[in-house]
Structure 1
Amino acid sequence: MSLASLDLTHVLYDASSHFSLVMALITLSPILLMASYAALAIFMREITIINMWVGQFCCEAFNLAIKRLVKEGRPEGSVGNGYGFPSSHSQNMGYFATFLILHLHFRHTFGSSGNWIADLAFRAFIYISLITWAVVVAYSRYHLSYHSVSQILWGLSIGISFGFSFYLVTELIPARKPKTLFGRARAFLLMNPVSVWFRIRDGWAVWPDGGMEDQWQRWRQERRPIRSKVHLN
């Protein structure tokens, strides 16, 4: 029996460097995405979240296909296994940041603070945070000697392109042009008996913020009678 190492969470770093430890932790952070997708998909039943999750799997599969087609090794002295082109971490983070930023820009409306400057600053903060996360994860792959600069830049570029194309075809076109083939396909995914049974919904088609403000207002209204009863007792 031959044994293989599953290095999904196995990261080598310079034990004498605190910065390398930080890079090792950051390079593991994309693992949180899959758990987050699963939790949000089960709890919210939003087709956009499920669709983004499917796209993440497709992006990873595309990365594996490219690696087996190009068969480019990792840089000299690399501690990683398998082919290195393109960087899967960089590609997946490029996809994630691109899809989410496009969704927040085109379909999501943040709650207003009453000050347009504060609202704009908050939106910019979210975008910059997503981009920074993707870039730092990509850099961690270089710092930890898992990929070359070229492999990382190609990974980011492919991920961004994949995220843009996937969002355009599966989200933006169906939302803007529901009578197209993509729009009808999305409608079928929402209205078939299985999706109805699982209570799959498209909250952003009804509410500009996906229903978060409406749900919070309903909670607040239901909470008031409960608090009144507690005070009376």
Structure 2
Amino acid sequence: MEDTETTPSQNSNIKWIPLSITAEYPEGDFIGKLLAFSSMLPHALIVSFITLILFRRDLHTISYLIGLVLNEGVNYVLKHTLRQGRPLVRPSLLHEYGMPSSHSQFMWFFTTYMFLFIWVRLRHISQTNTVWVWIWKTAISLACLVTSIIVAGSRIYLQYHTVSQVIVGALLGSVLGILWFLITHFALTPWFPTVASWRLCEWLLIRDQTLIPNVIWFEYTSHRHESKHRSRKLVSMKSQ
């Protein structure tokens, strides 16, 4: 008997299950489901950035998010200028243009900027514990790279974009990530101390942590010092 098995892209009768407007997967396709979840990663990253800014209030993190937003703005303009359709052959909630892929562009902007941040901006912390620093830097870089490849591939597998739309998105995101890092590193960072001293920034507790080599260690030691100081003060008050 002839094998009639078809792939999701070949069978228009397969039911597609929506996770969101930008993420649907073929019913019964476990890989497609995982890839659909991966397609929601850019949304999770935006929420993570907002949460990080609310809790950390660091100017460089704010600049990173601004770059991601500008990157999305460029993608929107290009999509509505080129007006190239998507390869969808099924009814879908998504009717936006497809060139370039916004998911691919977002993820490769994020990854390229993160790579430069880790290996260029954080190069000063490599002077101690060189092996372990190199290991975690490499691990983070590889994780970002693999994740970006998966997200980009998911857009092709789930029929939201053609290969060319994904490749153009990845290249454009990478170029914009490099440009924004250079702008932030050479043009904006020298102004961060001045911006942090503005009354509005002081009121919002926005700070510049550029000159602190290891923020986590700095906060840990500062917290421990303050805790010991208050503990000694409390003991002194009780003894009086």
Same fold (TM over 0.5): yes
Aligned with 1:163 (options 147, 152, 177) = 177
Distance in 1, matches of 2:150 and 2:227, equals: 42
Matches within 5 A, 1:12-51: 12-51=24-63
Distance in 2, matches of 1:8 and 1:193, equals: 43
Match in the other structure for 1:54 = 66
Aligned with 1:67 (options 70, 79, 82) = 79
Q: Is the aligned partner of 1:218 residue 2:222?
A: yes
Matches within 5 A, 1:33-182: 33-75=45-87, 77=89, 79=92, 80-108=94-122, 115-175=129-189, 178=190
Cα drift, residue 67 of structure 1: 0.5
How far does the alpha carbon of each residue in 1:43-89 deviate from its partner, in whole angstroms, 9 at most, with x for none?
Answer: 11100111111111111111000011111111252654221000000
Equivalences, count: 213
Q: Is the aligned partner of 1:193 residue 2:199?
A: yes
Distance in 2, matches of 1:42 and 1:70, equals: 37
Cα drift, residue 198 of structure 1: 1.7
- The normalised TM-score by structure 1 is 0.81
Distance in 1, matches of 2:198 and 2:106, equals: 30
Q: Aligned letter for 1:132?
A: V
Cα drift, residue 191 of structure 1: 3.1
Match in the other structure for 1:207 = 212
CA RMSD across the alignment: 2.7
- SS of the residue corresponding to residue 13 of structure 1 reads strand
Is the CA contact 1:113–1:119 (under 8 Å) kept in the aligned structure 2? no
Structure 1 residues 135 and 201, CA gap change in structure 2 (3 angstroms): same
Q: Aligned letter for 1:215?
A: E
- SS of the residue corresponding to residue 81 of structure 1 reads coil
Q: Is the aligned partner of 1:9 residue 2:13?
A: no
Cα drift, residue 225 of structure 1: 8.3
Structure 1 residues 225 and 194, CA gap change in structure 2 (3 angstroms): closer
Structure 1 residues 141 and 130, CA gap change in structure 2 (3 angstroms): same
Q: Which has the larger radius of gyration?
A: 2
Structure 1 residues 129 and 120, CA gap change in structure 2 (3 angstroms): same
Cα drift, residue 219 of structure 1: 2.9
- The normalised TM-score by structure 2 is 0.78
How far does the alpha carbon of each residue in 1:128-173 deviate from its partner, in whole angstroms, 9 at most, with x for none?
Answer: 0011111111111011110001000100110111111011012244
Is the CA contact 1:109–1:208 (under 8 Å) kept in the aligned structure 2? no
Distance in 1, matches of 2:47 and 2:34, equals: 21
Is the CA contact 2:193–2:208 (under 8 Å) kept in the aligned structure 1? no
Match in the other structure for 1:3 = none
Is the CA contact 1:48–1:171 (under 8 Å) kept in the aligned structure 2? no
